[in-house]
Amino acid sequence: MKLIKGIVILLWRLWFYLLVFVFTFILSPILLVVTSNVKTYPIFFKMAHYWARLILFMMGFKSKIIQSTPLQPRHSYMFSANHTSMIDIMLMLSVIPNNPFVFVGKVELARIPIFGFFYRRTSILVDRASATSRKEVYNQAQAKLDRGLSVCIFPEGLVPDEEVILSEFKNGAFNLAIEHQIPIVPISFLDCKKRFSYTFFSGKPGVLRVKFHPPISTTDMNIKDHKEVLKKQVYDLIYNDLINE
């Protein structure tokens, strides 16, 4: 019985990779057009929103927002959520339809065939080993914000081990939010780890609950005096949600 269950989970996980590859490949001609110009990014984002929803649906997942604070459409925010699973990107895209955002992510993701090509064209990539790369993130983020886009960062900077509830946050999301004076929105992904973690022979379909906390204003904040306070505030909100689960 255990062997059969393992085979079923293996096939289900391979199905995920197949879905990502096939749908990205099918859409690639259109994606080449809508990612070729910054003016058409909102069109790409809308496509990505439905791409993510379709993949989650075909994996047997259903996203459920259990607490939602209204966001102003086309207003710039810093979205920050815990990072626990390969489906975090899809879930984030699926639950934020009206505030186009760009991910700030690891340069390693750009190496994934086909997906990585479009990820590079639509995201802000950072090489954490390079001080120059980290500095360039600020310039690229400003250019996106100037066009009315939002930014999304998973502030842990990695996917923590299974036994870790929430890893220590990096400074990037909070430096950027304060530097550019945009509200930061803490988001708790409550089920991603148990539904589709990096432990390969694990997981199952089901509900993916998402909790949006009210946006935290960074107006009149400065990095020197407020970064650590803001970081702790966001960390505590998400950690308390996870520990209660």
pLDDT in tens, 47-105: 999 999 999 999 999 999 987 778 888 789 999 999 988 899 999 999 999 899 999 87
User: Which range scores top for mean pLDDT: 4-18, 24-38, 44-58?
Assistant: 44-58
Q: What is the pLDDT of residue 44?
A: 93
| Whether residue 163 has pLDDT greater than 90 | no
Q: What is the pLDDT of residue 108?
A: 72
Q: Pairing between strand 124-126 and 184-189?
A: unpaired
Please provide the distance, in angstroms rounded to a whole number, between the alpha carbons at the two ends of the chain: 29
Q: Report pLDDT digits (tens) over 127-162.
A: 766 667 667 877 888 888 888 899 999 999 777 777
Per domain, the residue ranges of the chain are 2-244
Positions of E strands within 3-94: 61-67, 78-81
Domain 2-244 has what CATH class? Answer: alpha beta
Better pLDDT: 26 or 157: 26
Q: What percent of the chain has pLDDT over 90?
A: 56
* Distance of alpha carbon 226 from alpha carbon 179, whole angstroms: 11
Looking at 2-6, 58-62, 66-70, 232-236, which range is the least confident one?
A: 66-70
Q: What is the pLDDT of residue 164?
A: 85
Q: What is the pLDDT of residue 46?
A: 94
69 within 8 A of 164, measured Cβ to Cβ: no
Q: What is the pLDDT of residue 134?
A: 67
